[in-house]
Amino acid sequence: MAVGFRVGGIVDEVGSPDFLHAFFSTISFHLEPNGWGTRYPELMNGLYYGKLGHESAGKVINDVAEIREQLKAFPPSSVVWDIERPNAKPPWGDSICTDISDLSNYFVTSTGRDLFEVLIECLEALKSEGGCMTVEQV
């Protein structure tokens, strides 16, 4: 089972639900010292837990760019697989591609695309097309 981002009739596959949770867990753990959704509520509480409306797309695009830049400061070993269990390791452990230099390029979708690029592409489509963006099973 995989999940993806839906905007209109198009779903961009991300990967397993655990992988997507790790992406959001890593963001919250390292960049939201006051807890999940306190710094990036539209992304962390809106998109992750339901849907994101087009009116928030521009702000979230800026937030995602900021998040990506800030995650450059963290080595791949700082990935947080599950925020409820911060010491949990990914299924592949420390065996990762040598191209991964930090957490800004750690997350690659099941289709081989950079997760930040997929997320930004979907947010830009949401901004121009309207409607809402959701996380769905694919």
pLDDT in tens, 60-87: 999 999 999 999 999 999 999 999 998 8
- pLDDT score recorded for residue 33: 97
The candidate with the shortest Cα–Cα distance to 67, out of 25, 18, 128, 19, is: 25
- Enter the tokens of residue 91: 């299924």
Q: Which residue, chain included where needed, has tokens 């992750």?
A: 48
Query: In the chain, what are the domain boundaries?
Result: 3-137
Helix (H) or strand (E) holding 134: strand 132-137
Tokens found for residue 120: 């930004």
**Predicted structure pTM score:** 0.95
- Across residues 93-114, what is the average pLDDT? 91
